Amino acid sequence: MLARSVTEEERVTALRTWLWGVETNRLALVLDFARPGASPAWELWPGNVVEAVVARFPGTAQLRVIVAERSGEAEVGDAPPAWADLGQVARARGEALARDPWTDRWPVAVASVVPEVHGGNWVVTDRDGRQMALAGDDVALWRLLASSGGRPVVLLAEWAGDSLVPLGAWTDSGMVVL
Amino acid sequence: MSAEHATSLWDELVTAAVIGTDRRPFAGAKATGQLGEALAGVRERGLLATAAVVWAYREAGREVPITGVRRSEAAPPDERPLLTQGAVRALTVILEDRMFRAVLDEWLALAVQAGGRLPGEAGPKLLDAVRADQRPAAAAVVGPLAAWLGARNPKWKWAEAAEAQVGAERARALLGAGQRPTTGLFASLGPDEAEAAAVGAFRDATAAQIGTIVASIPAPWSAAVTDAGLEAMARIIEGSDARPLPSLRDLLSHLALIINPAPSGPIAALMSSFEKIPDKHAAIRIFWAGSLANFAATAGFRASLHKEFQ
């Protein structure tokens, strides 16, 4: 379980849970909808590992799944799998867009990045100096900055438009859900 | 077809869309290479279909260039062990629920005494919440990260100058201040007695139910849960005509609170004075219900807080 996000769509609230298949080495998305304002009932918690069989929805992207069968309890996992830099993230997103141009949000799990704020502009820099803007609400951004303290973290985010919306971070003290 | 060509093609498409195809019919886009192939594969050659292909081509080919921006310095390392998860959870409750805010002094004192480090991500909310007199303790619990954050957020500028260490004596003084009861009527209760009273009164109530009660207190009253306010209420009760009321239990269950059918001790004393309030003082009754819930929840919380730091 990598991260989760909530966005208010036109008439519903979309709840996205991003999963990484430890055995399949593939991304998966559990997409749920709720009435606006309803508090989401998350079954899967970021950073946890659970043994499950998922069923993929048809379509070219093959990203969306439902959890068909779960066995055993969720356990707290180690550092989440992550791309090594933002260039790899962009390539993976590019491949997904090439398969399905309707891919609007793309999960980002990227290692060794440092969040920073310069005069109100939020950015994240990877190991080689690639930089992307961060977007999101102030509380999440400051929490992310404080969880890092200027040291590299594994950033979990969604690529939306031109920026990354942070959802979590893996730090020295474990998973931080933003 | 280079990225620059795709960009200029995109700009042409935007211009064509702005002008409108009625005024200037769209003649199709010229492109070579992979983009040309992709466009050739689309049967519909109108503006929108072309724009869709060019958009996907550009997005899918996007790169994140190396800008070589130098990273700023990291916060000095903090070698202290982390505070326990329970202690951190308790802080979250204190900061999120106005009802428990009075316990913040006590939490700070316990955390300073424990000598643990607050996980970084919990720092901003604490720095936001503390009063001026609580700043040294907050800066000590957050550690060197506090000054680092202070350099980046004008709101926390004070943290750059805050004393990094809070001595044991100062912590004890804070603890004394924290243990000052929030309501005069319960001045004599220590954490253990408070816990017993709270458990007795609210055996089955969840934090959410107690929260519902407090949220239901009319605004002018909810702001007045102070010693002076409670003493004033007590005088009103003593002076009122002692007409029996619908029971407290009815009122509280109406407010989604389950109360112990046989309370004892200070809670029973408070309930009996509560039941003397006449009907016409509905607002006062609700206020009392809120205060009672407030007290019991806070007392139970304080008792559990001390256990988290043991």
The pLDDT tens digits for B100-109 are 777 888 899 8
CB spacing of A150 vs B119 below 8 angstroms: no
d(CA B124, CA B139): 11
Residue A129, chain B, CB below 8 Å: the answer is yes
For tokens 């973290």, the residue is A153
Residue A142, chain B, CB below 8 Å: the answer is yes
Q: Which residues of A touch B50 (CB under 8 A)?
A: none
Of B59, B64, B75, the CB nearest to A150: B75
- The CATH number for A86-177, chosen from 2.40.50, 1.10.3430, 1.10.620, 1.10.3470, is 2.40.50
Q: What is the pLDDT of residue A39?
A: 61
Of B64, B67, B72, the CB nearest to A87: B64
* Rg, Å, chain A Cα set: 16
Residue (of B148, B105, B98) closest to B130 by Cα position: B105
Lowest mean pLDDT among A21-35, A86-100, B131-145, B266-280: B266-280
Q: What is the pLDDT of residue B235?
A: 45
CB spacing of A129 vs B63 below 8 angstroms: no
d(CA B125, CA A6): 21
Q: What is the pLDDT of residue B207?
A: 44
Residue B75, chain A, CB below 8 Å: the answer is yes
Interface probe with A: pick from B64, B73, B142, most Cβ of A within 10 Å = B64
Q: Chain A: residue nearest B38 by CA?
A: A98
Lowest mean pLDDT among A34-38, A62-66, A143-147: A34-38
CA distance B134 to chain A (A): 20
Of B82, B124, B148, the CB nearest to A173: B82
B6 CB-side CA count, 13 A: 21
CB spacing of B71 vs A147 below 8 angstroms: no
Q: What is the pLDDT of residue A61?
A: 73
CB spacing of A130 vs B153 below 8 angstroms: no
Residue B82, chain A, CB below 8 Å: the answer is yes
Q: Which residues of B touch A125 (CB under 8 A)?
A: 69, 71
> Model-level pTM greater than 0.80?
no
Residue B170 three-state SS: helix
Q: Is the pLDDT of residue A137 over 70?
A: yes
Q: Which helix (H) or strand (E) holds A75?
A: strand A64-76
Q: Is the pLDDT of residue A104 over 60?
A: yes
List the domain boundaries for chain B: 3-60, 85-179, 186-308
The pLDDT profile of chain B, 310 residues, written as one tens digit per residue, is 567 788 888 888 888 888 888 888 887 777 888 888 888 877 777 888 888 888 888 888 888 888 866 667 899 999 999 999 889 988 988 888 766 777 888 899 889 888 899 999 999 999 999 988 888 889 999 999 999 999 999 999 999 875 545 544 555 554 444 443 333 333 344 445 544 444 444 344 444 444 444 444 333 333 333 344 344 444 444 444 333 333 444 433 333 233 333 444 444 554 555 555 554 444 445 555 555 555 555 666 676 777 788 7
CA distance B122 to chain A (A): 7
Residue of B305 and A94 predicted with greater confidence = A94
Of B62, B65, B68, the CB nearest to A94: B62
Q: Chain B: residue nearest A142 by CA?
A: B124
Residue of A71 and B186 predicted with greater confidence = A71
Cβ neighbors of B211 (< 8 A, separation 6 or more) are B97, B99
Residue A164, chain B, CB below 8 Å: the answer is no
CB spacing of B74 vs A146 below 8 angstroms: no
Give the residues across from A106 on adjacent strands. A159
Q: What is the pLDDT of residue A112?
A: 92
List the domain boundaries for chain A: 3-76, 86-177
d(CA A46, CA A175): 7
Q: What is the pLDDT of residues A152-173, one digit of tens each?
A: 999 999 999 889 999 999 998 8
Q: What is the pLDDT of residue B1?
A: 55
Residue A94, chain B, CB below 8 Å: the answer is yes
Residue A120, chain B, CB below 8 Å: the answer is no
- CA distances, A103 to each of A57, A84, A96, B4, B179 (Å): 14, 22, 7, 24, 55
Of A94, A143, A150, the CB nearest to B124: A143
Strands (E), B23-121: none
CB spacing of A144 vs B68 below 8 angstroms: no
Q: What is the pLDDT of residue B215?
A: 43
Q: Chain B: residue nearest A161 by CA?
A: B59
Tell me the count of A-B CB pairs closer than 8 A.
Answer: 90
Residue B167, chain A, CB below 8 Å: the answer is no
CA distance A68 to chain B (A): 31
Residue B264, chain A, CB below 8 Å: the answer is no
